[in-house]
Amino acid sequence: MQKDNDFVKEISSKEEDFSQWYVDIVRKAELADYTTIKGCMVIRPYGYGLWENMQAGLDRRIKETGHKNAYFPLFIPESLLNKEAEHVEGFAPEVAWVTYGGKEKLEERMAVRPTSEAIICSLYSKWVKSWRDLPILINQWVNIVRWEKVTRLFLRTTEFLWQEGHTVHKSKEEAEEETLKILNQVYRDYIESDLAIPVIVGRKTEKEKFAGALHTYTLEALMTDGKVLQAGTSHNLGQNFARAFNIKFLDEDQKEKYVWQTSWGTTTRLIGAIVMVHGDERGLKLPPKVAPIQVIIIPIIFDQSKQKVLEKVAQLKSRLQSNFRVEIDKRDEYTPGWKFNHWELKGVPLRIEVGPKDIEKGQVIVVRRDNSQKMTVKEENLIEIINKSLKDIQENLFQKAKQFLEENIREVANFEEFKEIIEEKRGLIRTYWCGNRDCEEKVKEETKATIRCIPFKQEKTSGKCIYCGKESSTLVYFARAY
Ligand SMILES: [Zn+2]
Tens digits of residue pLDDT in 73-117? 999 999 999 998 888 888 889 999 999 999 999 999 999 999 999
Element (H, E) at 161: strand 159-169
Beta bridge partners of 144: 160
- For residue 453, being part of any structural domain is answered with yes
443 C-alpha to ligand 1 centroid (Å): 10
The answer to whether residues 60 and 177 belong to one domain is: yes
437 C-alpha to ligand 1 centroid (Å): 8
Q: Which of 354, 388, 422 is the last residue of a domain?
A: 388
426 C-alpha to ligand 1 centroid (Å): 21
pTM strictly above 0.85: yes
- For residue 107, being part of any structural domain is answered with yes
Per the CB < 8 A criterion, the answer to whether 188 and 264 are in contact is no
CA pair distance 476, 228, nearest whole angstrom:
14
Nearest to 65 by CA among 171, 190, 173, 204: 190
Amino acid at 239: Q
Amino acid at 307: Q
440 C-alpha to ligand 1 centroid (Å): 8
Strands 215-222 and 200-203: antiparallel
The answer to whether residues 52 and 171 belong to one domain is: yes
Handedness of CA 129, 133, 135, 137 (dihedral sign): negative
The answer to whether residues 136 and 196 belong to one domain is: yes
- For residue 274, being part of any structural domain is answered with yes
Backbone angles phi, psi at 222, to 5 degrees: -95, 125
CA pair distance 313, 302, nearest whole angstrom:
14
- Torsion-angle region of residue 168: left (phi > 0), alpha (psi -120 to 50) or beta? beta
Q: How far is CA 48 from CA 43, 74, 247, in A?
A: 6, 21, 37
- For residue 214, being part of any structural domain is answered with yes
What's the domain count of the chain?
Answer: 3
- Return the CATH number at 431: 3.30.110.30
The answer to whether residues 24 and 127 belong to one domain is: yes
469 CB contacts (<8 Å, ≥6 apart)?
A: none
CA pair distance 363, 380, nearest whole angstrom:
8
328 C-alpha to ligand 1 centroid (Å): 59
The answer to whether residues 219 and 315 belong to one domain is: no
427 C-alpha to ligand 1 centroid (Å): 21
Per the CB < 8 A criterion, the answer to whether 21 and 14 are in contact is yes
Per the CB < 8 A criterion, the answer to whether 19 and 350 are in contact is no
Domain that holds residue 112: 17-278
CA pair distance 223, 200, nearest whole angstrom:
12
- For residue 319, being part of any structural domain is answered with yes
421 C-alpha to ligand 1 centroid (Å): 19
- For residue 285, being part of any structural domain is answered with no
Q: Would you write out the chain's pLDDT as a tens digit for each of its 482 residues?
A: 556 666 767 899 999 999 999 999 999 999 999 999 989 999 999 999 999 999 999 999 999 999 999 999 999 999 999 998 888 888 889 999 999 999 999 999 999 999 999 999 999 999 999 999 999 999 999 999 999 888 899 999 999 999 999 999 999 999 999 999 999 999 999 999 999 999 999 999 999 998 889 999 999 999 999 999 999 999 999 999 999 999 999 999 999 999 999 999 999 999 999 999 999 999 999 999 999 999 999 999 998 999 999 999 999 999 999 999 999 999 999 999 999 999 999 999 999 999 999 999 999 999 999 999 999 999 999 999 999 999 999 999 999 999 999 999 999 999 999 999 999 999 999 999 999 999 999 999 999 999 999 999 888 889 999 999 999 999 999 999 99
Nearest to 88 by CA among 56, 115, 128, 52: 115
The answer to whether residues 158 and 306 belong to one domain is: no
- For residue 458, being part of any structural domain is answered with yes
DSSP state for residue 192 in the 8-state scheme: I
For the chain, how long is the longest CA-to-CA vector?
85
